[in-house]
Amino acid sequence: MRILVTGSDGFIGKNLVESLKNIRDGKDLRHMIRKCAIPAHLEIMECTGDSPDELLDRYCKTADFVFCLAGTNRSQQAEAFIEGNTMSVAKVLELLKRHGRNTTVMYASSIQASLTGRYEGSFYGESKKQGEDLVRRYGEETGAATLIYRFVNVFGKWCRPDCHSVIATFCSHIAREEPIRVDDPKTQLRLIYIDDLIEELLQALDGRPSGSESGYAMVKPEYQASIEEIVALLYRFHDIRQGGCLPSLEEQSFEKKLYATYISYLPQEDLLYPLMTHMDERGSFTELIRTMTGGQFSVNITRPGITKGGHWHHTKTEKFVVVSGRARIQLKKIVANADGQSDAAIDYHVSGEKIEVVDIPPGYLHAITNEGDRDLITLMWCDECFDQEKPDTFCR
C-alpha cells in the first residue's frame, strides 16, 4: 500500500509518518491488537514544501491513499494562505486526475473554514474553505472517497512554539521560565490531542473513520478549556515538578494529555533533576515520585544485617518490592483476635531473583531485614504522601 503524506515535516505530518513507520516496521502493538486491515508492507511517500514537483508527480502516479496535511497558517498576506492551503491541494488533485487515479484523499481543513463568528473574514479560513471545495469536486468527478476534517486546536509533542499552537507556545515558555502573553484569559478553546487525531487518521486509512457531522469527519474526544485554565494547569505542572510530584493522570483526561505535552517541551538540560536522599549508617531512603491522588513511590537501601521499620500505621497501606538482594519482611498484627489469641509473626523471605509484592496492611507491625551480604534495594509504595504533621507511624 502506497501512502502519500504532504506536509510530512509539519506538526501533524511528523506524528502521522512516525506512526505509519511503526506499523510498517511491526513495532505498533496497538495496531496488532486492533487487527487493522492496514497492510504491514507500507510505502510511505513524504512530501514537504521543498520537495520538487517531479517527486510529487511520481508519488501521485501510484498513491493508494493521500493525506493532504500541507498548509500555511501564519502569514500577513492572503496570497500566502491561498498558495499554501488551496493551491497545494489543487496540485495534488490535478496530478491524481492526470494519472487516472481515484485515490482516497484526506484533507486537513480547519474550524476557521466555517467563516462564522470570530472566524468571519479569516484569510486562512477562506483558503481552507476553497481547499475543501476542490476536494469535494475531485470526489464527484472521479468517484473517489474523500474525507475532510475541520480540525479545532490541536496540541501535543513536536508542534512548533510561537507559530502553530498557543499551547505549544505556553508550554515552551513556561518550561523555560519565560514570560507569556495572555490577551483574553476567558477565551474558550476547542481542543484535540495529537495522538487522538493520529488514531483517527489511521482508522480512516483502515476504512473505518469515526463518523461525520454536517459532512465533516470527526476526531474524538474533543476538550474545551479557557486560556486561563490551561495556563493555570501549566504553571502547576511547572511548580509541582520541583517537588517531584505528578498531577492527576486519569486515563483520557485533558490534564493527562496536557501534562504529556508540557513535559515534551522541557529543555533537555532540565530533564535530569536531583532527589533528596536521607542517609545514615543503616542505608538510605529516597522519595522518587509523589502523586496528587496515588500516594508516593520510594526506594529504600538497607545495609547487610540491618533491620529497618518496626512500626505500624492506622490507615496507611504500603507495598514492598525487593528488586536486588535478599530480605525478610516480617508482619505481626498488633491486636489480639476475637478469641483473645495473638497471631504469630509472619516472615516473608523475598529476593530480587523473583520479583514479588508484599502488602503491608494497616494495624500490622512490619520490619524489613537484609539477609544478604550486599545492599538490599527495595521499592516501596505508600497510598499517601508523607506528611510530617500527620505521619500515621507508630513504633512498638
d(CA 196, CA 153): 13
Task: Walk across the sheet containing 153-155 and list its strands.
Answer: 153-155, 188-193, 223-226
Q: Which residue has the cell 508482619?
A: 331
Cβ-contact 197, 129 below 8 angstroms: no
Give the angle subtended at the CA of 29 by the CAs of 24 and 30, to the nearest 5°: 100
Give the angle subtended at the CA of 52 by the CAs of 49 and 58, to the nearest 5°: 115
Let me know if 60 is exposed, middle or buried by CB neighbors in 10 A (0-12, 13-18, 19+).
Answer: buried
Reply yes or no on whether 119 is catalytic.
yes
**Separation of CA 207 from chain center:** 25
d(CA 240, CA 228): 18
- In Å, how far are 258, 277, 326 from 270, measured between CA atoms? 19, 19, 36
d(CA 356, CA 379): 11
Q: Which of 59, 107, 119, 262 is catalytic?
A: 119
DSSP annotation of 307: E
- In Å, how far are 47, 210, 296, 332, 370 from 68, measured between CA atoms? 10, 18, 46, 66, 62
Which of the residues are catalytic?
Answer: 119
